[in-house]
Amino acid sequence: FNTIMYAQKAADISTISEKTLNSILEKNRTYSTQGKVADYIPELGKMDGKAIAFSVVEKNGRVVNVGDVHKKFTMQSISKIIALMIAVNEKGESGVFDKMGYFGTDKPFNHFSNLETTGKPLNPMMNAGAILTTSLISGEGEKPFLKILEMVRYITKDQTIDYSKSVYESEKSTGHRNRGMFYLMKNNGLISGNEDQLDNYFKQCSIELTAEDLAKIGYFFANQCVRFDGDAKYKNEEVAKLVESQMLIAGMYEFSGEYARTVGLPSKSGVGGGITVSVPGRMGIGVFSPALDQHGNSSAGYHMILDLVKQYGLSLF
């Protein structure tokens, strides 16, 4: 009986309308008052906790946006999936995963005690692995960062996207824990460069975009690295599968297992309040609401995704 009810409730994906997204957004707006805006990076603490936006990009590239659609925020950890794609394109999968694991985690994003045990980061989604991944992208100085920025501009088809200098400065001046990981990995022989490489990580976290841009990134990985308008310059099924698998097992950090149970889709969060979601072969979802839950994931964002997934039967499982 439940199965029949569920099948009837799962509406046709091509009917996702502004009205539907709006009603989900309004239903979950209240969660933005229950979480807390990240303030461990002082510049992030200045964000408007009440801002909220919800976007989807469907199979045909059609974009639907509701809420504070023009509001920009920093992508933070969501940049890690772009860096992973570039590093793997350059070095091959083994060139990256020789140096880190494919492991899931029960630990927060800035956990790094395994650098003392196995000597290697757990995965490329947590900070240690992400800092290492960015250091593997070729080029002197800020060149690796510029490759990440160019890739974000390509995927979103928006050449105006840039990074926030003030957030970057704030990250750099307070990121001592990340600096500690950087030097531990240098000590372990995983990183050979200088602190420019860590700066590239701080800069990639400071790239500013909208919820719509996140939906386009989600779409890209959901569709074998083909852009929302059909451009297939970077088409690569294996890289998309690799990135999506990491999003699924560690994209929401220690919440990833419970998230896989409730949402059941590859997703990546950032402490700026964004979450990007890939519905494999189908669509991308982008949400923004800066108040975070205890795991560092957007609180209203999670609940908006959950409602959309339930309404349209989008879970993989």
Is residue 213 a contact residue for ligand DON (CB under 6 A)? no
Active site residue 253: yes
Nearer CB in complex with ligand DON: 64/85: 85
Binding-site member from 28, 164, 170, 178 for ligand DON (CB under 6 A): 178
Active site residue 219: no
| Residue 276: count of CB within 10 angstroms of its CB | 32
Is residue 105 a contact residue for ligand DON (CB under 6 A)? no
Closest by CA position to 228, among listed 241, 244, 217? 217
Annotated binding-site residue? 171: yes
Annotated binding-site residue? 236: no
Q: Scanning the structure block, which residue is given the tokens 């994931």? A: 297
Is residue 123 a contact residue for ligand DON (CB under 6 A)? no
Alpha helices, DSSP H, located in the chain: 2-9, 18-28, 79-97, 114-117, 127-135, 143-156, 165-174, 176-187, 196-205, 211-222, 237-250, 256-262, 299-312
Is residue 127 a contact residue for ligand DON (CB under 6 A)? yes
- Beta carbons of 45 and 300 less than 8 angstroms apart: no
Active site residue 302: no
Is residue 109 a contact residue for ligand DON (CB under 6 A)? yes
User: Which span sits near ligand DON by CB under 6 A: 19-27, 228-236, 263-271, 275-283?
Assistant: 263-271
Helix (H, G, I), strand (E, B) or coil at 63: strand
Catalytic residue among 163, 253, 259, 312: 253
User: Which residues ranging from 56 to 95 are in contact with ligand DON (CB under 6 A)?
Assistant: 76-77
- Beta carbons of 242 and 284 less than 8 angstroms apart: no
Binding-site member from 296, 299, 302, 312 for ligand DON (CB under 6 A): 296
- Beta carbons of 177 and 171 less than 8 angstroms apart: no
Q: What are phi and psi of 209, to 5 degrees?
A: -155, -175
Closest by CA position to 180, among listed 131, 137, 125, 227? 131
Nearer CB in complex with ligand DON: 119/180: 180
Q: Quote the least distance from Cβ 202 to ligand DON, whole Å.
A: 7
Binding-site residue positions for substrate: 77, 127, 171, 178, 201, 253, 271
| Contacts to ligand DON by CB under 6 A | 76-77, 109, 127, 171, 178, 205, 269-271, 296
Tell me the catalytic residues: 77, 80, 201, 253, 271
